[in-house]
Structure 1
């Protein structure tokens, strides 16, 4: 297993005094003891099927036993999990960790090309994938090291009747499972049932050992794996647990979790909920607002984990506004900036204020959060326990309160480094362990933090990071594109949307063709909503595109049609 690069992270052979009050040895120890403590309580629900903590423990143990007895996978090997919000996800996650594997969280919306990069870069040898995405894996299998494949369907952990109906509806009525051919692929359901009731051989990773590769563009836009150790994730879990549980009780009884578990925000929050003996109600498709409202009505929520886009979308629905929110104790926002308008609307409708938090993948992810009873709108709150923050100028010198500068973070949740990218790690983490977030912040005299500008050029669409370089690389591969540049522009629904400026060598190339090209090669949220054809891009004397000039430039008269005049940007 590749060792830690961040020297400060390696100093955490134990977690800071007072943080790990239960003295968990690692995430597996946390999981097993939590499941024993709350055995009869509901843990996760999806599509109407609820797993208790005891069931979750038994199923994950069975998966771990299968890995240990029937594969050549060894502790430290990587396993990719590419699933939507299904109860199979926590089963596979903790089963893999119990077998000593390193989890590679993979977005189910990825294109085949994006999957190929992540699987090859991580060196993943195993993949758990939903059948709706298996045809994509077939297309890139030969370019990876994958030799253990497990496929699952939505209803696999339901009873016979509902399982049959659910799986048939998705395949034959909704046509969401294209045919595929993956030689040697196994049905996850069969694998989980094979060793039910058996115990895996104990694996005892240290806090410095790698647990998850969470892919991110960082501040450069090149997709790379943030190495999150057992200690990183356990520390952030306990930091969040201490902070959120200090705000009141009863919040974790029914937590609506519409954000995907493969995303680091929901990934860590779900474990904070588990630590509280809580119940995660998973929503597979939060974009279906009507279905989300019905789920909320069915499970009177005590807490809701969302982001700005969802708060707005829900408050726009009359059916949502008519629900009973008397049990709602806590609302948490993360993943993207929370607007004051969205926060005010949510509190007016539900009676529950939103606790805005801030984090990034490289910090597992939480850095700061607003205390429930002392929320300051427009801020990201206070640093979590055992977390140091400072704001520095361009020379790395700490600035005074109220002066903007780059936010830096140090603490047990800061990643060990980027997978197999030592140079980029040293550019991001200082020798004494400070993570340079790239975000421009102001620290107030009372300790509250405000983000005044994002990491340079980063576009955040509905909480998902979109890196201009990635979009531009795809578009520049088009034979009729000379060069291009992507920026983010404000969007009332998604926070931001991607806008693309293109210089072409063909008078016949139009916006529709460019967007169709992008749809073939990029996940949907990365596809430019606006395309503007220009004769040239603004550049510095050394030839670097000046994106701020593109952001400041007035839009062309028509940015939605398929024919256009060309202008200089």
Structure 2
């Protein structure tokens, strides 16, 4: 059975993302649109943003940067990342961002994949960026220092502003509206998280970006046209701008809605709380680990968070108990969403200003279809199955990886998400990732279910569950972080195992044991680095005995 969105289809223009954000004939606002949260006198209005985008794009043209080549950023967040994003994509180049926490080898891998014509590297990351370029055999003359302050030349690498056109010259620069080719013209190459394998470059077109922005705002605003009150919204952007989630909301959706966005260079919890209080932030896009901090860390009580009205949570599963606790404590609305890099950003969403207490991940966006499929590729109904999704927001394919594209999508447009879901009354629940299910004596165990249960324990602040192989059998194993205010003897392995056993069937018991950790490794997007956790489990399996596995 093919499930269709409960929302009516909407019209989606085939155009350059710049045509969507800056429609011809619209007057450009001089109200601050992007604000440096640390230094609020640093701002860009819509008018400023377009001027800088034009200067950037014309500068690329004058340097002879070929069309359909990549402009890569290796930087923390700052005000001018949106300039590079829109300047590259809008001029028919590709924007691609790299995680600022990458090592030389990790960055060199991504550079080798996309072979960027330009690398913009933040001064604080110059050593890593320069070494990665050498490792990937790309000349350093393609590199510029990239910051919101003037950069002194380093090892012959100049400041990025040296290639910009003047504001006067840039007024005459215009972009190609694209029209029908917007469905084929790549705008961004965002890399999949690589939590279970090597990252893959996901090719997102201008049509994908425009479609997903329109679909998302349609649901966010309860199917109403763009209302004036969105211009009164104040957002705090702390998610990394190399990631699709932050790009789509901080740059594309906020620009279109006219919301003011305060940008943090990097996430620090107390700064995050302070900025919410200082700027009376109304709207957040967040990930479950941040929501978990809000609920469990004592600092949350020290700040006035009453201005918060709506929080959109995505990128990873969030336990229902955590969501309900936050709603009751802070009285804001939580709009759950689901998406992936391969769906541009969002595939499902709840509207703003709605309080739901059943833990679903939202409704299919307009113009979107989905179905659930078993391991044999057969459609299933009324039972968990892998989510396949199709719509104008689904990717063009993987960059230079035809095999991965064939493996993850069908010729008629379905993207195989790898997520196990159930659906009822247009609502979708994410059960777990297909690759992460644990098989215990032939029965499936969803790690997300056990993780949600563990997070309900009053002494546990974070947890992850993976399978561990002991004597040829697989069992669930938990890695647990205790709350900071709990002493080292405040919780034992046996207590955690007993806690889970009291609430679950026998095959879900933590027979693979429990290990206490200082932290759970996560990406900046909030996703657990399961590949690393599985390495822990593989290491720990060597120390198990057959008797231990019978706990």
Task: Answer whether TM exceeds 0.5 for this pair.
Answer: yes
| Structure-2 separation of matches of 1:396 and 1:556 | 36
Alpha-carbon offset, residue 369 of structure 1 = 1.2
Aligned to 1:391: 372
| Structure-2 separation of matches of 1:140 and 1:488 | 39
| Structure-2 separation of matches of 1:557 and 1:90 | 42
Q: Return the TM-score normalized by structure 1.
A: 0.72
Task: Describe the shift of the 1:556–1:43 C-alpha distance in structure 2 as closer, same or farther (beyond 3 A).
Answer: closer
Aligned to 2:57: 64
2:373, 2:379 within 8 Å by CA — same for their partners in 1?
A: yes
TM-align CA RMSD = 3.5
| Structure-2 separation of matches of 1:292 and 1:374 | 24
1:74, 1:100 within 8 Å by CA — same for their partners in 2?
A: no
**Within the alignment, does 1:44 sit opposite 2:34 as a pair?**
yes
Aligned to 2:485: none
Alpha-carbon offset, residue 290 of structure 1 = 1.3
Alpha-carbon offset, residue 119 of structure 1 = 0.8
| Structure-1 separation of matches of 2:515 and 2:160 | 53
Residues 184-203 of structure 1 correspond to what in structure 2 (within 5 A)?
Answer: 185-192=157-164, 194-195=166-167, 198-199=170-171, 200-203=173-176
1:443 aligned to 423, 428, 431, which one? Answer: 423
Aligned to 2:109: 117
Task: Describe the shift of the 1:282–1:126 C-alpha distance in structure 2 as closer, same or farther (beyond 3 A).
Answer: same
2:146 aligned to 130, 140, 152, which one? Answer: 152
**Within the alignment, does 1:236 sit opposite 2:215 as a pair?**
no
Give CA deviations for 1:383-441 in whole Å, capped at 9, x if unaligned: 011110111122222212x3111111000111011111111111110121111101111
**What is the SS of the residue equivalent to 1:118?**
helix
**Within the alignment, does 1:215 sit opposite 2:215 as a pair?**
no
Give CA deviations for 1:75-100 in whole Å, capped at 9, x if unaligned: 10111112222101001111112322
Task: Describe the shift of the 1:272–1:557 C-alpha distance in structure 2 as closer, same or farther (beyond 3 A).
Answer: closer
**What is the SS of the residue equivalent to 2:436?**
coil
Task: Describe the shift of the 1:56–1:336 C-alpha distance in structure 2 as closer, same or farther (beyond 3 A).
Answer: same
| Structure-1 separation of matches of 2:125 and 2:452 | 28
Alpha-carbon offset, residue 317 of structure 1 = 5.1
Residues 86-97 of structure 1 correspond to what in structure 2 (within 5 A)?
Answer: 86-97=78-89
Give CA deviations for 1:533-558 in whole Å, capped at 9, x if unaligned: xxxxxxxxxxxxxxxx9995533789
| Structure-1 separation of matches of 2:127 and 2:437 | 31
Task: Describe the shift of the 1:551–1:215 C-alpha distance in structure 2 as closer, same or farther (beyond 3 A).
Answer: farther
1:125, 1:148 within 8 Å by CA — same for their partners in 2?
A: yes
In the alignment, structure 1 segments of 5+ residues that lack a partner are 1-15, 157-166, 168-178, 460-486, 503-548
Alpha-carbon offset, residue 488 of structure 1 = 13
Task: Describe the shift of the 1:377–1:435 C-alpha distance in structure 2 as closer, same or farther (beyond 3 A).
Answer: same
**What is the SS of the residue equivalent to 2:22?**
helix
Q: Which moved more, 1:365-374 or 1:352-361?
A: 365-374
In the alignment, structure 2 segments of 5+ residues that lack a partner are 1-7, 439-450, 471-506, 519-538, 547-551
Residues 533-548 of structure 1 correspond to what in structure 2 (within 5 A)?
Answer: none
Task: Describe the shift of the 1:201–1:350 C-alpha distance in structure 2 as closer, same or farther (beyond 3 A).
Answer: same
Give CA deviations for 1:12-32 in whole Å, capped at 9, x if unaligned: xxxx97333xx4622121233
Task: Describe the shift of the 1:267–1:134 C-alpha distance in structure 2 as closer, same or farther (beyond 3 A).
Answer: same
Q: Return the TM-score normalized by structure 2.
A: 0.74
**Within the alignment, does 1:278 sit opposite 2:259 as a pair?**
yes
Aligned to 2:543: 566
| Structure-1 separation of matches of 2:208 and 2:511 | 42
Task: Describe the shift of the 1:264–1:498 C-alpha distance in structure 2 as closer, same or farther (beyond 3 A).
Answer: farther
**Within the alignment, does 1:452 sit opposite 2:425 as a pair?**
no
Give CA deviations for 1:325-345 in whole Å, capped at 9, x if unaligned: 554332100111112232123
Aligned to 1:102: 94
Aligned to 2:289: 309
**What is the SS of the residue equivalent to 2:121?**
strand
Aligned to 2:19: 29
| Structure-1 separation of matches of 2:291 and 2:203 | 31
What is the number of residues matched between the two proteins? 452
Alpha-carbon offset, residue 42 of structure 1 = 1.8
Alpha-carbon offset, residue 218 of structure 1 = 6.8
